[in-house]
Amino acid sequence: MTQDILLQTLASGILIGLIYALVAVGLTLIFGVMEITNFSHGEFLMLGMYSAFWMFALWHWDPIVTLPISAIGLFVVGAAMYRLVIKRIIGAAPISQIFTTFGLMILLRGVAQFLWKADYRAIDKSSVSGSLSLLGVQLGTPQLAAGVGAVLTTVAVYLFLSKTRAGAALEATAADREAAQLMGIDSQRMFTLAWGIGAACAGVAGALLATFFPIFPEVGANFILIAFVVVNLGGFGSVAGAFWAGLIVGVVEVMGGLLLGPQFKMAVVLALFLAMLIWRPQGLMGKT
């Protein structure tokens, strides 16, 4: 194995890890605030990919330019999902919550198949098409742009949570819902906001992925399992933990594929997941 191959693989792992981190940030935010595991989160990513694709196919709007539209659209979808469905199962048995979000996953996937068929689609040319050489490493421009976009979005979410009144209210609701309500914080508004932001993060990740990844109704399944691994590794409810864990998982996945073979890369990620469950079940930055 040459140094160039090692650096190339490491760079690829970091870039895909940033996308994993962004998907996981939305997932961990929803869990941290509401303690609900959202199995339909991958379908939000799928909708983000389709939103970018159709705006490009119908109106020739570049996916990078339409990124804010995808984010706002998915925020609305996430908030509506909470108000129409999830609000009704707050306080229900955990198994009911699991089946509800799993049912949402099946529903959204089925709607996508009905509307857009099971065909694979792609955005062939965008403003970030091509590649560039950076310090001797050949990088795809779409992957690089997706990595930068993921970092900026994750930082924006972190700053929102740590620097704004609404973010502080979300954090307070996540820490102690009843105490937050006694302080005048409307928990229903916070839950709606959490679902909206979580869906928007997935939507941004989907729009970024659409520039280089095939688009089809079941695409979310390729990312949701890894997102759960990232959330567990980083610590449920920790945005910073999800970011660093996403990088770790991305690098471990591609290095495992390089050293052991592509067929083993997912096995290496799942082995890491099991090791974390045994060694530190609360995650890297989770609370004990």
Interatomic CA distance for residues 94 and 129, integer angstroms: 44
Q: What is the pLDDT of residues 6-19, one digit of tens each?
A: 888 999 999 999 99
Interval 200-214 mean pLDDT:
95
For residue 209, is pLDDT > 80? yes
Total count of residues recorded for the chain: 288
Q: What band does 124 get if pLDDT is binned at 50, 70 and 90?
A: confident
Q: What is the pLDDT of residues 33-53, one digit of tens each?
A: 888 889 999 999 999 999 999
Tokens representing residue 94 in the block:
């955990």
Q: What band does 287 get if pLDDT is binned at 50, 70 and 90?
A: low
249: left (phi over 0), alpha (psi -120 to 50) or beta: alpha
Residues paired with residue 139 on neighbouring β-strands, in sequence order: 132
Is the dihedral angle over the CA atoms 103, 105, 109, 111 positive or is it negative? positive
Q: What is the pLDDT of residues 161-203, one digit of tens each?
A: 999 999 999 999 988 888 999 889 999 999 999 999 999 999 9
The residue among 25, 38, 27 whose CA lies nearest residue 240 is: 25
The residue among 41, 38, 58, 50 whose CA lies nearest residue 200 is: 41
Sole residue written with tokens 């495992």: 256
Interval 249-269 mean pLDDT:
91
Please give, one letter per residue, the 3-state secondary structure of the chain: CCHHHHHHHHHHHHHHHHHHHHHHHHHHHHHHHHCCCCCCHHHHHHHHHHHHHHHHHHHCCCCCCCHHHHHHHHHHHHHHHHHHCHHHHCCCCHHHHHHHHHHHHHHHHHHHHHHHCCCCECCCCCCCCCEEEECCEEEEHHHHHHHHHHHHHHHHHHHHHHHCHHHHHHHHHHHCHHHHHHCCCCHHHHHHHHHHHHHHHHHHHHHHHCCCCCECCCCCHHHHHHHHHHHHHHCCCCHHHHHHHHHHHHHHHHHHHHHHCHHHHHHHHHHHHHHHHHHCCCCCCCCC
pTM of the predicted structure, to 2 decimals: 0.93
For residue 288, is pLDDT > 70? no
